[in-house]
Chains A and B, each alone.
Chain A
Amino acid sequence: MIRYSAFFPELVLAITAILIIGLDLIFKKSKTKQSFLNWVSFSGVLFSIAIVCFDGNILSTSFHQFLVTDPLAVFGKIIILVSALLTLLMTFRYFKSNTTEHQAEFLVIILFATIGASALTSAQEIITLYVALETLTISSYILAAYMKRDAGSNEAGMKYLLLGAFSSAVLLFGFSYLYGATATTNILKMNERLMTEPLNALIVLGIIFVIAGLSFKISLAPFHMWTPDVYEGAPTPVTAYLSVASKAAGFIAFIRIFLVALNTPALVHIWGGLFAVLAALSIVIGNLSAIPQKNIKRMMAYSSVAQAGYIIIGLLVNNQLGLTAMLFYLFVYLFANMGAFLAIVIVSSQINSEQIDDFSGLWKRSPLISMALLIFMLSLAGVPPFAGFTGKWYLFGAAIQNGYLWLGLLGMIFSVISLYYYLQIVRRTLVLDSPENKPISISVIEKTALIICMLVTIVLGFYATPLMHVIHRTVGSFMN
């Protein structure tokens, strides 16, 4: 029995993308056409979110168990689609100041990347998972290099392509070892086989390769070298997309592979230890390198390395508590990081600068955006009462309860250190003055999106019960 509704969200995105290509060809070039196409893409993603939310067939599989619609897939899809929605919003603003002839194609490729990310969340088989991941990353290479007249964007695209292709090869090599050891590509069956299989070098080497390949995608140190250059050079909406949607997809892949396929008592010791080292390295390197940065996108790049380090703690403790903390933090990170990037795009497209110094005196030019930046930065740093604090509380608590006391303490210490660079932005926007007084304009929909992101970030800090209820159900269906 084939259940085609398993890929309806992706199908809607694909149809929207093809519709945009068609409409772009038919109609003459004009401002009205572009804003019409923008709204087509926007409503396509919205429609896709609606399908994900109202699909009743939770916990069903299709395509010979290769695709699964479980609560985890739904959760991942919502995070990815919402971040795609916000990315589209940033795109509309970004292209007002950075012109290109091919804005419609940019929307199309964002939609294609989102199809990959969204399909990845429900893949229960490593070939499907790999193809979905490649659809996401190869589209991201194009997006990173999209501003072809800009040297930074060219450099970003080139670096991302070369290193990304290499990491994909390593990942595939690791998958082939796991396949060689278990003779199956199905994640559930792989787990069954590994339970009975004695531990051997082939499996261990496969795990190391998979960790190396996937860590690149979510930029865990020491596989983060590409992150600052690509994040700085890529068009800002793409940077935002990479730092949230792309990472969320990577984390879902991590959960599927490590918490399902490789979750046997003997193997947990190996990858648990490896992840602890990677998490510690990411937290230390990410936070320390972020401090001296002058460019706001570069700073956010190092910040996202550190954030990936925090989130992976939830994976390595390998229990319900950890997974709960991980999903909660991902959700919080989505709104805080996307909100911060939305504010950055709105401001930097009007002051034509991405230097942190040029954000001085923003409170006079746009009180709302400076307020928003304050809240998002404090949440990312983990200051109570914002949602980031609750998220870190759960993550470090999970680490400490499961024998990773040192990692929990390290995370706390470096969260405090991270306050320094997050507050640098806040200090400039709220305290310093600037000669410029021209107000920053902001459209109604951008205002709405910013306020929603702010509200989520504030409210989840006080009252997270409904979200925790959903996450508990997700985790409960996933791990016993």
Chain B
Amino acid sequence: MEQFVFWCIAIFIVLSAFFAMIMKNIFHCALLLAAALFGVAGIFVYLGAEFLALVQVLIYVGAITILIIFGIMLTHKMMDSKIIVMNKQVVMSAVITGVLGTLIILTIYSTAHWILPALKNSESGYLTHSITTASVTKNKKVVTDVYTLGPALINPKKGFAFAFELVSILLLSVLIGATVIARKDQEG
């Protein structure tokens, strides 16, 4: 049953991502992208990482897709614009991604058996503990709630606090940069 649920979600994601890529109407592409992102949230729920699923829906399905759709509505005539989805390199890139994809799938299948013991022995980072144990011991008490995730991110003793603060610098930089580039200047 669990396997069945996983395969349903997986096929849903792959199909919607594929059609998001080849559809000629850019508005449909955006909707299909939202569907694919929603499927990823489903995978997170399936693995017991409810918080990540929530974040995925809020940020990716909610905010980012809405932004994309706004972008399309403001710049295109929504329904009748056709976009170019293929170019000369389509065969070449299909071959390369095909080979790479096969390689990744083979890798995953050939190593599926030993990942779990390695994960159980994990005692290193806080995040390691909270996220991976959830996927390994789904039937036991799940620890990926906000109460463990929050301190892991901002308590300096846990280590991720520095990266967390650095992200705020990154966001400030992006905010200033986006304003400067998008802003209409007075001169010229």
A binds B: yes
Taking Cβ atoms with an 8 Å cutoff, the residues of A that contact B are 2, 7, 14, 21, 63-67, 101-102, 105, 108-109, 112-113, 115-116, 119, 125, 127-128, 131-132, 134-135, 138-139, 141-142, 145-146, 148-149, 157, 180-186, 189, 193, 197, 200-202, 205
A183 touches B121 (CB 8 A): yes
A200 touches B124 (CB 8 A): no
A67 touches B173 (CB 8 A): no
State A208–B156 Cα separation when bound (angstroms).
33
Distance from A108 Cβ to chain B, minimum over Cβ atoms (Å): 6
Which residues from chain B contact A66 at a C-beta distance below 8 Å?
159-160, 162-163
Distance from A8 Cβ to chain B, minimum over Cβ atoms (Å): 13
B170 touches A116 (CB 8 A): yes
Which residues from chain A contact B181 at a C-beta distance below 8 Å?
142, 145-146, 148, 157
Distance from A28 Cβ to chain B, minimum over Cβ atoms (Å): 15
Distance from A316 Cβ to chain B, minimum over Cβ atoms (Å): 23
Tell me the chain B residues, 52-98 only, with Cβ under 8 Å from chain A. Answer: none
State A138–B163 Cα separation when bound (angstroms).
15
Distance from B69 Cβ to chain A, minimum over Cβ atoms (Å): 21
A201 touches B110 (CB 8 A): yes
B170 touches A135 (CB 8 A): yes
State A128–B107 Cα separation when bound (angstroms).
27
B166 touches A119 (CB 8 A): yes
Distance from A196 Cβ to chain B, minimum over Cβ atoms (Å): 10
Contact status of A138 and B156, CB under 8 A, knowing A183-B132, A205-B107: no
Distance from A61 Cβ to chain B, minimum over Cβ atoms (Å): 10
State A135–B167 Cα separation when bound (angstroms).
7
Which residue of B115, B161, B185, B187 is within 8 Å of A63 (Cβ)? B161
State A186–B126 Cα separation when bound (angstroms).
11
B118 touches A193 (CB 8 A): yes
B169 touches A112 (CB 8 A): yes
Asked if B15 lies at the interface with its beta carbon under 8 angstroms from chain A, I say: no
Which residues from chain B contact A183 at a C-beta distance below 8 Å?
118-119, 121-122, 124, 128, 132
Which residues from chain A contact B169 at a C-beta distance below 8 Å?
14, 112, 115-116, 135
State how many residues of chain B have any CB contact under 8 Å with chain A.
42
Taking Cβ atoms with an 8 Å cutoff, the residues of B that contact A are 103-104, 106-108, 110-111, 114-115, 118-119, 121-122, 124-125, 127-128, 132, 156-163, 166-167, 169-170, 172-174, 176-178, 180-181, 185-188
Distance from A447 Cβ to chain B, minimum over Cβ atoms (Å): 31
Which residues from chain B contact A142 at a C-beta distance below 8 Å?
173-174, 176-178, 180-181
Which residues from chain B contact A112 at a C-beta distance below 8 Å?
169-170, 172-173
B157 touches A64 (CB 8 A): yes
| A106, closest chain B residue (CB) | B180
Which residues from chain B contact A141 at a C-beta distance below 8 Å?
177
B125 touches A105 (CB 8 A): no
| B176, closest chain A residue (CB) | A105
- With contacts A64-B125, A149-B188, A184-B125 known, what are 20 further pairs, Cβ within 8 A? A63-B161, A64-B157, A66-B160, A102-B180, A105-B180, A108-B173, A119-B162, A119-B166, A125-B125, A132-B163, A132-B166, A142-B177, A146-B180, A183-B124, A186-B124, A186-B125, A202-B107, A202-B115, A205-B103, A205-B107
12 residue pairs from A and B, CB less than 8 Å apart: A63-B162, A64-B159, A105-B180, A109-B173, A112-B169, A116-B166, A119-B162, A128-B159, A142-B174, A183-B121, A200-B110, A201-B107
State A145–B178 Cα separation when bound (angstroms).
10
User: Which 4 A-B pairs give the minimum distances between C-beta atoms?
Assistant: A142-B177, A64-B159, A112-B173, A184-B124
Contact status of A65 and B111, CB under 8 A, knowing A116-B170, A183-B122, A184-B122: no
Which residue of A2, A116, A135, A145 is within 8 Å of B157 (Cβ)? A2
Which residues from chain A contact B188 at a C-beta distance below 8 Å?
149
B159 touches A63 (CB 8 A): yes
| B186, closest chain A residue (CB) | A101
Which residue of A102, A128, A182, A202 is within 8 Å of B163 (Cβ)? A128
Which residues from chain B contact A139 at a C-beta distance below 8 Å?
170, 173, 177
Distance from A270 Cβ to chain B, minimum over Cβ atoms (Å): 14
Distance from B161 Cβ to chain A, minimum over Cβ atoms (Å): 6
